[in-house]
Structure 1
Amino acid sequence: MQQPQKNIAEPFSSYQLLVIALLALLQFTIVLDFMVLAPLGDFLMKSLSISPKGFGLVVSSYAFSAGASGIMAAGFADKFDRKKLLLFFYSGFIIGTLCCALATNYEMLLGARIVTGLFGGVIGAISMTIITDIFAVHQRGRVMGVVQMGFAASQVLGIPIGLYFANIWGWHSSFLMIVILAIMIAIAILIKIKPIDKHLAIQSDKSAFLHLWHAVSNRSYQTGFIATAFMGVGGFMLMPFGSAYLINNINITEAQLPLVFMFTGLAAVVVMPLIGKLSDKVDKFMVFTGGSLLAVVMILVYTNLSPVPLWQVIVINMVLFMGVMSRMIPATTLTMSIPDLNDRGAFMSVNASIQQMAGGIAALCAGLIVTQRTKSSPLEHYDTLGIVVSALILLCIFLVYRVSVMVKKKDAVLKIPAKH
C-alpha cells in the first residue's frame, strides 16, 4: 500500500521542471494564437466586414488545416527526434502567425490561418508525446495541470493584453505580440532541451504509411479517437462567438471585455493545478464527470443570459471555465495513456488531427446556427447552441468512461499500482 503513495509524491528533477516550464510557455503561445481570434472576433467582423458564417470559416480553416497536417505528419511522427520535430513545426507556426499580423483583408487572413494551422495543429500532439516519454504515469496529471495552464494564462495575460494592444494599435498588433514571444521560446528550446529519441530504437514499421495505418486501425486507439472527436465538437462550439455575444447581447463594452477574460483565466489558474493533483490521486473519470455536469449547468445559464451587471458575467464565466478545465485535464491524461511507446507520436498526431477537425466542424456548425441581422445587432439562436453543446458533453461522459475502463485494464496488465 505504500508504493502508490511514493509514486504519487515522486518529485520532478530540475531538468523535468525546465521541460514543464518551456512546454507550458509554448502551449501558451499556441493556445493564445487560437484563443485570441474569438475575442478579436468583433474587431475583425466589423473592420473586415466578415459575416458570422465567414468568421466561422476563418476559425474552422485553422482547425481543418491543422487536422490535415496532423494526419500527414502522423506516419513520420515516430521517425524523428521529437525535439527537432517540435522546432520544425513551431517555426512554421511563427511564420503563419506573422502572416496573420500582416493580413489586410479577409482573404489574406483566411490564408494566413490555414498556414498557421498546418504547423500549429501538430505542436500540441508533439508536446503531449514528449510529456509521455519523459514523465512517469504518476506524474502526468500534475504535468498536464501545469502545461494546460497555457490556456488559463492566455485568458489572464494574453487575451487582455492582446485586446489592449488591439484597442490602441489595431488587431494586427495582437498577433505580432505572439510572434515575438514565440521566437524567444523557440530559441530556449533549441538551447536547453536534450534530444528526445529513445523511441527510434524500437521502430519496426519501415513505411510511414504503414506506421500510420497501424495506428488508425488499432481498436483500442479508435476508442480514444472517437472520444476525442466528440470532446472537440462540444468544446469548440461556443468559443468563436464569445466576444460578439458578450458585446452585442449582454452589452459588455469593448473596454470591459479584457476584464471578463482576465478573471476567467484567474479562476482557471487556481483550479487547474488542483485538478491535476486530484487526477493523480483519485479516479480520473469521476473528476471528468463532475466537471462535465458543472459545465452543462453553467452553459445553459450562460447562453440564456439577458443583459446583467459586469460582475455577474465574470462570476458565471469563472464557474463555467472551472467546469471546462475539470474536463480537459483528466480526459487528456487518460487519452495519453492509451498508446504504446513506439506508436505515441502517430497516435498523438492522429488524435490532435481529429480534435482539430472536430473543432473546425464545430465552428462551422456554430456559424450556421448563430445568426446576426446587422454588425451591431444581438446574436440569435445562441441559446440553441447551448443546448447542442450540453447534449454533446453528456454524450462524452459515456465515451470517456470507455477510455477509462481500457486504460485501467492496460495498467493492470503492466502491474502499475495506481488509481486512474
Structure 2
Amino acid sequence: MSRPTETFTLLSPRHRLLAGMTLALSNFMVVLDLTIANVSVPHIAGNLGISPDQGTWIITSYAVAEAICVPLTGWLAQRFGAVRLFTMSMLGFGLFSLLCGLSMTLGMIVACRIGQGLCGGPLMPMSQTLLMRIFPPQQRGRVMGLWAMTTMLGPALGPIVGGYISDNWSWHWIFFINLPIAALCIFSALTLLRPVETERVKLPIDYIGLALLVFWIGSLQIMLDIGRDHDWFGDPMIVALALMAGIGFCIFLIWELTEEHPIVDLRVFRHIGFTSGVFTLALCFGAYFAGIVIIPQWLQISMGYTATWAGLAASFVGMSAMVIAPIVGRVVGKLDVRLMISSGVLWIGAVTLWRAHWTTDADFWTVALPQLVQGFGMPLFMIPLTTLTLGSVRPEETASAAGMQNFLRTLAIAISTSIVLTGWGDGQRVSRNEMVGTLHPDATLADLTSRGFTQEQARQMVANLVDAQAMVVSMNHVFFIAALVMFAAAALVWLAPRPMAKVDTSSAH
C-alpha cells in the first residue's frame, strides 16, 4: 500500500533535522569526489608508475560511470524504494572508496572508480528527493538552500582538500576520508529514514534501453576526455566515437519514448517548466565551470600559486553562498521564482564579465573578490531553480526529474570542461602568434644580455612573458563567452509558466 502524501508527519522535528543534515552531508561527499581526485592524479600516477595521461582515466572512469547511473535513479527508486536505494548506494560508495584507497595497480583503481561512480550517481538525486519527502512544504525552500550550499561548496573545496591530503598525507586518504561519512549516513538512513520509504514497483527491466544508455554516454564521455589529446576530429577514432554517440543517442530517444516501461523516463520533458529549468541549469553550470576549470590551472601554471592557495582563491564563492542561502530559502515561496533565477544568473554573468578583464598583475584579492561576490548570486540561481523544476512535474515523477536534472548538470560539466580547455589552449596559440608577429624584441634582448643573461636565457625570458600574456588573454576571451551564455540562460528561464500554487513533491518514488 502506498505511503501517505504527508510523509513529513512520520518524523519528529528532531529526527527531520538529523536526517536533513545527513542527506546534505552525503550530497557534499559525492560532489566533493568530483574534483578531489583531480589535483591528486600526478601523485597517484607517480606512485603507481603510470603516465599522467593514463592517470586521467582515474577521473574519466568515475565520470562515465556516474553519468550512466544518474538518469537511472527514477527507475531504481521505483524498483527498490528511495531509502533502500540511498542506503545501498552509500554502502557501495563506501566499499569502493576503501578499495580505491587500497589499489596498487591502474586496472584496480579504474575498476573501483567505476564502482564508486555507479554507486555515487543516485546519491545526489536521492538526497534531494528524500529531503523533499521529510520536510513540510513551508520548510522545503530552506532545506533546498542547505542542499544547494553543499552542491556549490563541494567542487570549490575539492582541489584544496585533495591537494592538502596529497601533499601532507598520502593520495590513499582522498578515498579513505569517505569511510566515516559513509558509515554515518548508512546508520542515519537505517534509523531515521525508514518511515518515509517509498512504494516498490516491480517493473520489467528495459535491457535494450540500458544497453543504449551505456553505449552512447560511454562513447560521448570518452570522446570528450581524450579528444584534446587526439586533435579532436582530425583523429578517425574521435570521429568514430562521435558517430557512435550521436547514432546511439538518436536510437535511445526513439526506444525510450516508445517503450512501455522505459529505463529513463523522458516524458518528464513534456512539462515546459521542468524543461526550461533544466536547460537553464545546464547552460549556467557549464558556464560556471569555466571558472572552476581555468582559474586554479592559471594560478598554478602562470602565477606561481601552490595547489592549496589556488584552491583557496577559488573557494570564496562557497563562503558567501553559505551566508545568503538561508535567506533565499526563506523567501523562495514568496516571490516569483523565475525572477529570482533570472536575477541570480544575471548576477553570475556580470561577475564572469568582471573576470574577463584580469591581467598578469592580478594579486590574490583581485582573483578572490569576484569569487566572493559571485557567491551571493549562486543561491538565487540554485534554490529557486530546484523549486521550479521539481515543482513542475507530477509527484510520482520527482525521482525521475531529480535524476534527469542531475544527469544534465553532469553532462553539461563534462562538455563544458572539454570545450573550455580546448578553447583556452587554441586561444593561447592564436594570441601568442599575434604577439610574436608584432613584437620587436631586439632592444629587450640587448638590455637583458647587458645585464649578464646569456642570449638563450634572454630569449627564454621573453618567451615566458609572451606565454603568460597569451594565457591570460585567452582566458579573458573564455570568460567573455561564458558571460554571454549566462545572459542567454537568464532569458531562457522565462519560457517556464509562472507557478500558480505550491506543488507537493514529497511523494517522489
TM bucket, shorter chain: 0.7 to 0.9
Within 5 Å, give how 1:36-75 maps onto structure 2: 36-38=36-38, 40=40, 50=52, 55=56, 59=59, 61-75=61-75
Does the aligned pair in 2 maintain the 1:82–1:195 contact within 8 Å? Answer: no
Separation in 1 of the partners of 2:178 and 2:113? 14
Assess, with a 3 A threshold, how the Cα gap between structure 1 residues 358 and 151 changes in structure 2: closer, same or farther: closer
Q: CA deviation at 1:214?
A: 8.6
Alignment partner of 1:134 is 2:184 = no
Assess, with a 3 A threshold, how the Cα gap between structure 1 residues 302 and 49 changes in structure 2: closer, same or farther: farther
Paired letter, 2:52: I
User: Which of 253, 265, 284 lines up with 1:215 in the alignment?
Assistant: 265
Partner deviation per Cα, 1:276-296 (whole Å, 9 max, x = no partner): 223233222222222212211
Separation in 2 of the partners of 1:328 and 1:32? 17
Alignment partner of 1:174 is 2:179 = no
Q: CA deviation at 1:213?
A: 7.1
Separation in 1 of the partners of 2:280 and 2:419? 19
Partner deviation per Cα, 1:96-144 (whole Å, 9 max, x = no partner): 4345434567776655543332221221111121122233333221001
Separation in 1 of the partners of 2:420 and 2:482? 10
Separation in 2 of the partners of 1:362 and 1:96? 28
> Corresponding residue for 2:95?
95
> Corresponding residue for 2:304?
251
Separation in 1 of the partners of 2:199 and 2:393? 13
> Corresponding residue for 1:282?
335
> Corresponding residue for 1:327?
381
Q: CA deviation at 1:167?
A: 1.8
Separation in 2 of the partners of 1:244 and 1:119? 29
Separation in 2 of the partners of 1:60 and 1:230? 22
Structure 1 length-normalised TM: 0.79
Structure 2 length-normalised TM: 0.67
Assess, with a 3 A threshold, how the Cα gap between structure 1 residues 67 and 152 changes in structure 2: closer, same or farther: closer
Q: Report SS of the residue matched to 1:370.
A: helix
Separation in 1 of the partners of 2:293 and 2:58? 10
> Corresponding residue for 1:337?
391
Paired letter, 1:335: T
Q: Report SS of the residue matched to 1:305.
A: coil
Task: Decide which structure has the larger Cα Rg and report it.
Answer: 2
Does the aligned pair in 1 maintain the 2:284–2:486 contact within 8 Å? Answer: yes
Separation in 2 of the partners of 1:384 and 1:107? 39
Does the aligned pair in 1 maintain the 2:321–2:377 contact within 8 Å? Answer: no
Does the aligned pair in 2 maintain the 1:74–1:212 contact within 8 Å? Answer: no
Partner deviation per Cα, 1:314-334 (whole Å, 9 max, x = no partner): 222211233334311211221
Q: CA deviation at 1:254?
A: 3.4
Separation in 1 of the partners of 2:477 and 2:108? 32
Alignment partner of 1:79 is 2:79 = yes
Assess, with a 3 A threshold, how the Cα gap between structure 1 residues 398 and 30 changes in structure 2: closer, same or farther: same
Assess, with a 3 A threshold, how the Cα gap between structure 1 residues 198 and 178 changes in structure 2: closer, same or farther: closer
Paired letter, 1:385: V
Partner deviation per Cα, 1:28-64 (whole Å, 9 max, x = no partner): 211211132455578679986536x985x76555343
Alignment partner of 1:369 is 2:435 = no
Assess, with a 3 A threshold, how the Cα gap between structure 1 residues 233 and 155 changes in structure 2: closer, same or farther: closer
Does the aligned pair in 1 maintain the 2:74–2:403 contact within 8 Å? Answer: yes
Farther-moved stretch of structure 1 (13-22 vs 148-157): 148-157
Alignment partner of 1:301 is 2:354 = yes
Unaligned segments of structure 2, at least 5 residues: 1-11, 207-259, 430-463
Paired letter, 2:341: F
User: Which of 378, 382, 391 lines up with 2:475 in the alignment?
Assistant: 382
> Corresponding residue for 2:17?
17
Q: Report SS of the residue matched to 1:339.
A: coil
Unaligned segments of structure 1, at least 5 residues: 1-11
Alignment partner of 1:266 is 2:319 = yes
Separation in 2 of the partners of 1:173 and 1:241? 26
Separation in 2 of the partners of 1:355 and 1:61? 18
Q: CA deviation at 1:95?
A: 3.4
Paired letter, 1:361: I
CA RMSD of aligned residues (A): 3.6
Q: CA deviation at 1:365?
A: 2.0
Paired letter, 2:488: L
Separation in 1 of the partners of 2:105 and 2:364? 33
> Corresponding residue for 2:495?
402
Q: Report SS of the residue matched to 1:252.
A: coil
Does the aligned pair in 1 maintain the 2:73–2:399 contact within 8 Å? Answer: no
Assess, with a 3 A threshold, how the Cα gap between structure 1 residues 59 and 327 changes in structure 2: closer, same or farther: farther
Separation in 2 of the partners of 1:217 and 1:336? 14
Farther-moved stretch of structure 1 (317-326 vs 110-119): 110-119
User: Whose RCO is larger (CA < 8 A, sep 6+)?
Assistant: 1
Separation in 2 of the partners of 1:27 and 1:367? 27
Paired letter, 2:20: I
**Aligned length in residues:** 394
Assess, with a 3 A threshold, how the Cα gap between structure 1 residues 70 and 370 changes in structure 2: closer, same or farther: same
Assess, with a 3 A threshold, how the Cα gap between structure 1 residues 367 and 95 changes in structure 2: closer, same or farther: farther
Separation in 2 of the partners of 1:151 and 1:14? 24
Does the aligned pair in 2 maintain the 1:252–1:310 contact within 8 Å? Answer: no
Q: CA deviation at 1:359?
A: 1.9
Assess, with a 3 A threshold, how the Cα gap between structure 1 residues 149 and 164 changes in structure 2: closer, same or farther: same
Does the aligned pair in 2 maintain the 1:27–1:148 contact within 8 Å? Answer: no
Separation in 2 of the partners of 1:147 and 1:341? 20
Paired letter, 1:50: P
The percentage of counterpart residues that share the same residue type is 22
Q: CA deviation at 1:208?
A: 5.5
Does the aligned pair in 2 maintain the 1:165–1:171 contact within 8 Å? Answer: yes
Partner deviation per Cα, 1:287-318 (whole Å, 9 max, x = no partner): 22222122112223335422422233222221
Paired letter, 1:295: I
Separation in 2 of the partners of 1:143 and 1:284? 16
Assess, with a 3 A threshold, how the Cα gap between structure 1 residues 140 and 251 changes in structure 2: closer, same or farther: same
Separation in 2 of the partners of 1:182 and 1:101? 15
Within 5 Å, give how 1:115-194 maps onto structure 2: 115-151=115-151, 154=154, 160-194=160-194
Separation in 1 of the partners of 2:166 and 2:368? 21
Paired letter, 2:367: V
Does the aligned pair in 1 maintain the 2:23–2:185 contact within 8 Å? Answer: no
Partner deviation per Cα, 1:173-226 (whole Å, 9 max, x = no partner): 2232233332333223223322433455xx6x9446534479312411544544
